[in-house]
Amino acid sequence: MISKKRILVPTDFSEVAGYALQHAVRVSEVVKEPISILHIVQAESEIPSAQEKINSIVKGIREKYGKEIVPIVKVGSYFTDIALVASEINASMVIMGSSTIKDMDENKVSWVLKVITSCKVPFITIQEPPVNKRYDDIVFPIDYTVENKMKHRWISYFSDFYLSRFHLIKPKTTDPELLAKIDMNMASAKKYIDEKGARYIEYTVPGRKRYEEEVLDMSVNIRADLIVLMTTPVSNGGKFEIDPIEQHILANSHHIPVMCVNPM
């Protein structure tokens, strides 16, 4: 039985997948969790070539960072097997390279979103090499949904390993019912932060543009290292989806890493 948490990095051997692995190395150095790298092929005949490529990556990481990572090559589908492997290795998170979604065709967008929402563990999408070693400035958009509170436990995670400053951004509304729900979620986030003795800054967007656009504008000004989002539950079958607001932030052209958390 595997008890130690691991970081899972799927790879298609692309440049952006290499960026994700660099991020994973940075995270691993802080949280002291080992890394597994996964490549999925469609047929048994593809395994030897894939194994050779993935072994070369493992060797490169060993030589550059002095870190051992575990290679996994298996026949299957990315739609289902990333989540399956994440469960099998007791992954704490999945870190995957992804091009800016707005530049992708519709099939590629659907593929990325389906992979993210299939995982029980948080999914961090990466578009560029790491700039900072740590997640020092983390943006938590605060909305009115019940599920929004479920990502607040990650405040404890980041506070345990990083000297993070949390940026709590709420929408501007005059609807008293929505405002009450937003304030409840804000209070929940503050409680987690106060219990950890961490720092936070509270913001309300100006309300001149769409909420998701203003969240991204503020994230750029903050120089955020990470944005944490919550996916939306679908009523049937315990599945999740990424709504248009979440997708817009996930697809940001500013290359800010985004963590998506499926509510459990």
For residue 199 the two structure tokens come to 């720092």
Of 69, 96, 126, the domain-final residue: 126
Which phi and psi angles does 154 have, rounded to 5°? -70, -15
User: Strands (DSSP E) along the chain, which ranges?
Assistant: 6-10, 35-41, 69-75, 91-97, 123-126, 137-141, 165-170, 199-204, 226-230, 232-233, 240-241, 258-261
- For CA atoms 81, 82, 86, 89, give the dihedral sign: positive
Measured between alpha carbons, how far is 239 from 219 in angstroms, rounded to an integer?
29
Can you list the pairs that 232-239 forms with residues at least 24 positions away whose Cβ atoms lie under 8 Å? 232/145, 232/147, 233/147, 233/263, 239/117
Q: What is the pLDDT of residue 109?
A: 54
Does one domain contain both 143 and 118?
no
Q: What is the pLDDT of residue 239?
A: 64
Does one domain contain both 29 and 66?
yes
Does one domain contain both 47 and 88?
yes
Q: What is the pLDDT of residue 160?
A: 85
Of 73, 96, 126, the domain-final residue: 126
Q: What is the pLDDT of residue 167?
A: 97
The C-alpha angle with vertex 231 and arms to 243 and 14, in degrees rounded to 5, equals: 90
Does one domain contain both 25 and 115?
yes
Which phi and psi angles does 200 have, rounded to 5°? -150, 160
Does one domain contain both 196 and 243?
yes
Of 126, 149, 172, the domain-final residue: 126
Does one domain contain both 122 and 170?
no
Task: Tell whether 132 is covered by a domain.
Answer: no
Q: How would residue 40 be classed by pLDDT, with cut points 50, 70 and 90?
A: very high
Does one domain contain both 143 and 79?
no
Q: What is the pLDDT of residue 101?
A: 47
Task: Tell whether 131 is covered by a domain.
Answer: no
Task: Tell whether 157 is covered by a domain.
Answer: yes
pLDDT more than 90, % of the chain: 56
Does one domain contain both 114 and 195?
no
Measured between alpha carbons, how far is 250 from 173 in angstroms, rounded to an integer?
23
Number of domain units in the chain: 2
Task: Tell whether 12 is covered by a domain.
Answer: yes
For residue 89 the two structure tokens come to 């290795």
Task: Tell whether 156 is covered by a domain.
Answer: yes
pLDDT tops 70 at residue 106: no
- pLDDT tens for 188-198 read 999 989 998 99
Task: Tell whether 256 is covered by a domain.
Answer: yes
Q: Which amino acid is at 200?
A: Y
- pLDDT tens for 238-263 read 566 666 777 778 777 788 999 988 76
Does one domain contain both 47 and 101?
yes
3-state helix, strand, coil in the chain (%, to 5): 45, 25, 30
Q: Which amino acid is at 66?
A: G
Does one domain contain both 145 and 117?
no
Q: What is the pLDDT of residue 131?
A: 80
- pLDDT tens for 122-159 read 889 888 888 877 889 999 999 888 777 777 878 888 88
What is the pLDDT averaged over residues 103-116?
Answer: 62
Q: What CATH number corresponds to the domain at position 147?
A: 3.40.50.620
Does one domain contain both 74 and 163?
no
Q: State the chain's mean pLDDT as an integer.
A: 86
Domain extent for 162: 137-261
Of 192, 180, 175, 249, give the one whose Cα is nearest residue 218.
249
- pLDDT tens for 60-71 read 999 999 999 999
Which carries the bigger pLDDT value, residue 42 or residue 132? 42
pLDDT tops 50 at residue 1: no
What is the pLDDT averaged over residues 102-113?
Answer: 56
Task: Tell whether 1 is covered by a domain.
Answer: no
Does one domain contain both 146 and 218?
yes
Tally the residues of the chain.
264
pLDDT tops 80 at residue 216: yes
Measured between alpha carbons, how far is 261 from 264 in angstroms, rounded to an integer?
9
